């Protein structure tokens, strides 16, 4: 009974090897695609992918004119200062995470002063909101008690240049209810050559500061 | 029952083109939300392929490469797994190549799946669809449990809602599969029982002097 049923199914399907080869090909291609999308089975989220990508290949900052101080470009501010910069993206009307980032920057400013790191590390807030004119940013700087020697707050007026900077940093801004924005907030560490080299989580300011100092020291050696 | 063959070729082609036009024409709106992206655009692309699957059933090459539906069901597992990776989903928003890959892979899956399902025995279906459903449910639970956003392009509420939808879809697919296969399985069981009793009677005849 068993032998007859097997032989009859063999007659109906004479080439199981073809199917096996096709299924194996599909599986291998599928696996290759999954390995590629997860950057070698390392990440599943876009944000983790962005961070790993930046660590593997630091990014040059594109040309963008900043509004405070005028007639300066972001790349020259970041690349010719000699210090490592911790960059955070903000909008001044923010009531949620930027307020946290703001107070974290206040505390980091104090930590930089206390530990005499102002020759190695500095802070920069970049606004992604076109409504943030230089006056608004200036009053934000006063509210935050930002010391311009340690903490710069800038905006980019030209839309195309602003988008180029956001794309390079990998910032995605989504409009949210109540006129707010949702964005992937983080500490972006830009090395003394002006390249985005590392991204740390926004709830780990001490790690960001330690990474920035380590990056500065590594460059000195 | 699986092939949309009762409709004329022209009707199927028109419907298929319509599904594709909606999926691509309304892409900015559909892709603005994770839920709409996965649960409106994906099914539209699968439908587009499914409506074109009639002609594919006739030539013999897909059958020879896809005996028992194993190749098509393997494709189902990998295509669905790939597009449930949040980074892959978001890359389809930012890269034209990824977008083209998404459209092509889902249309191809939709076109091959009906034939594969019709060729596969229920045990094979149980294996592949069981894996597919489990994967979908686990991904859905992960989407709901994550405190962070998995895609930078989508809000956390949207991600949670998509997670719920993934779990619900996996349950719904399992129920539909059981409902569709229950009569076939019970028929096969009774047929096997008949065969067994006939064999027994034959053995009785042979062994009895």
Q: What is the pLDDT along chain B (209 residues), one digit of tens a residue?
A: 455 666 788 888 999 999 999 999 999 999 999 999 999 999 999 999 999 887 666 666 677 889 999 999 999 999 999 999 999 999 999 999 999 999 999 999 999 999 999 899 999 999 999 999 999 999 999 999 999 999 999 999 999 999 999 999 999 999 999 998 777 766 666 666 565 555 455 444 444 44
Number of other CB atoms surrounding residue B197 within 10 Å: 10
Taking CA atoms, what residue in B is nearest to A10? Answer: B67
Q: Which of A183, A92, A78, A204 is nearest to A138 (CA)?
A: A92
Residue A170 has a pLDDT of: 96
B158 touches A at CB < 8 Å: no
- The verdict on A46 touching B (C-beta cutoff 8 Å) is yes
Q: Identify the pLDDT of residue A7.
A: 41
Q: Is A190 exposed, middle or buried (0-12, 13-18, 19+ CB in 10 A)?
A: buried
> What pLDDT score was predicted for residue A83?
96
For residue B55, which phi and psi values (nearest 5 degrees)? Answer: -60, -30
Nearest to B42 by CA among B166, B172, B180: B166
- For A57, phi and psi rounded to 5 degrees? -140, 95
Rounded alpha-carbon distances, angstroms, from residue B1 to B37, B115, B187: 28, 11, 17
**Rg of chain A in Å (alpha carbons):** 25
- Rounded to 5 degrees, φ, ψ at B88 are -65, -45
- Closest C-alpha to B98, from B108, B88, B106, B107: B88
Please give the pLDDT value at position B207.
Answer: 46
**Could you say which DSSP state residue A156 is in?**
B
Q: Which residue of B has its CA nearest to A176?
A: B155
pTM exceeds 0.95, yes or no: no
Question: Looking at residue B190, what is its pLDDT?
Answer: 62
CA dihedral B194, B196, B200, B202 (to 10 degrees): 70
3-state secondary structure at position B62: helix
Alpha-carbon gap, residue A106 to A74, rounded angstroms = 22
| Cβ-Cβ contacts under 8 Å, B82 against chain A | 30, 33-34, 37
pLDDT attached to residue A102:
73
Least CB–CB distance from A45: residue in B67, B150, B155: B150
For residue B88, list chain A residues with Cβ-Cβ distance below 8 A.
33, 37
Average pLDDT of the residues of chain A: 90
Query: What is the per-residue pLDDT for B15?
Result: 94
Touching B: A residues 74-133, CB under 8 Å: none
With 0-12 / 13-18 / 19 or more C-beta atoms within 10 angstroms meaning exposed / middle / buried, residue B175 is exposed
At A106 the pLDDT is 93
- Rounded CA separation B86/B34 (Å): 10
The low-confidence residues of chain A, meaning pLDDT below 70, are: 1-15, 96-98
Residues of chain A numbered 140-179 and touching chain B (CB < 8 Å): 170, 172, 174, 176
DSSP class per residue in A74-117: HHHHHHSS-SEEEEEEE-TT--SHHHHHHHHHHHHHHHHHHTT-
**Helices (DSSP H) in chain A: which residue ranges?**
2-12, 16-37, 46-56, 74-79, 97-114, 134-143, 159-169, 205-220
Q: Is B152 strand, coil or helix?
A: coil
> CB of B118 within 8 Å of any CB in chain A?
no
Q: Does A47 touch chain B (CB under 8 A)?
A: yes
Q: Give the whole-angstrom CA distance, residue B195 versus residue B182.
A: 20
Looking at residue A5, its pLDDT comes to: 40
Hey, what are A134's tokens? 């230089």
Residue A86, strand partner residues: A123, A189
B75, B78, B90: residue with CB nearest A46: B90
């Amino acid at each position: 009974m068993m032998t007859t049923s097997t032989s009859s199914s063999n007659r109906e399907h004479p080439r199981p090897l073809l199917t096996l080869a096709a299924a194996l090909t599909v599986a291998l291609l599928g696996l290759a695609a999954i390995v590629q999308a997860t950057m070698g089975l390392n990440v599943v989220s876009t944000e983790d992918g962005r961070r790993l990508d930046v660590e593997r290949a630091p990014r040059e900052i594109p040309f963008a004119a900043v509004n405070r101080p005028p007639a300066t470009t972001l790349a020259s501010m970041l690349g010719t200062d000699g210090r490592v910069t911790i960059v955070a993206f903000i909008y001044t009307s923010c009531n949620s995470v930027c307020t946290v980032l703001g107070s974290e920057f206040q505390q980091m400013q104090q930590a930089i002063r206390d530990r005499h790191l102002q020759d190695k590390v500095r802070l920069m807030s970049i606004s992604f909101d076109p409504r943030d004119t230089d006056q608004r940013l200036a009053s934000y700087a006063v509210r935050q008690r930002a010391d311009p020697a340690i903490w710069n707050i800038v905006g980019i007026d030209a839309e195309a240049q602003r988008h180029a900077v956001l794309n390079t940093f990998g910032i995605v801004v989504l409009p949210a209810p109540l006129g707010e924005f949702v964005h992937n907030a983080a500490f972006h560490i830009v090395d003394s050559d002006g390249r985005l080299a590392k991204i740390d989580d926004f709830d780990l300011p001490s790690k960001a500061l330690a990474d920035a100092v380590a990056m500065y020291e590594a460059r000195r050696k | 029952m699986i092939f949309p063959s009762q409709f004329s070729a022209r009707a199927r082609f028109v419907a298929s083109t319509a599904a594709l036009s909606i999926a691509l024409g309304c892409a900015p709106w559909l892709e603005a939300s994770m839920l709409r992206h996965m649960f409106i655009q994906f099914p539209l692309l699968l439908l587009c392929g499914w409506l074109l699957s009639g002609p594919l059933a006739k030539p013999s090459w897909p059958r020879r490469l896809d005996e028992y539906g194993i190749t098509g069901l393997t494709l189902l597992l990998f295509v669905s797994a790939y597009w449930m990776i949040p980074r892959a989903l978001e890359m389809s928003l930012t890269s034209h190549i990824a977008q083209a890959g998404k459209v092509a892979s889902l249309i191809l899956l939709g076109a091959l799946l009906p034939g594969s399902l019709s060729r596969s025995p229920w045990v094979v279906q149980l294996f592949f669809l069981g894996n597919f459903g489990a994967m979908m449910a686990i991904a859905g639970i992960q989407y709901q449990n994550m405190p962070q956003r998995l895609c930078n392009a989508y809000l956390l509420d949207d991600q949670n809602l998509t997670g719920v939808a993934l779990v619900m879809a996996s349950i719904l697919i399992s129920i539909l599969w059981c409902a569709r296969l229950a009569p076939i399985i019970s028929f096969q069981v009774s047929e096997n029982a008949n065969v067994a009793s006939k064999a027994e009677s034959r053995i009785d005849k042979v062994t009895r002097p």
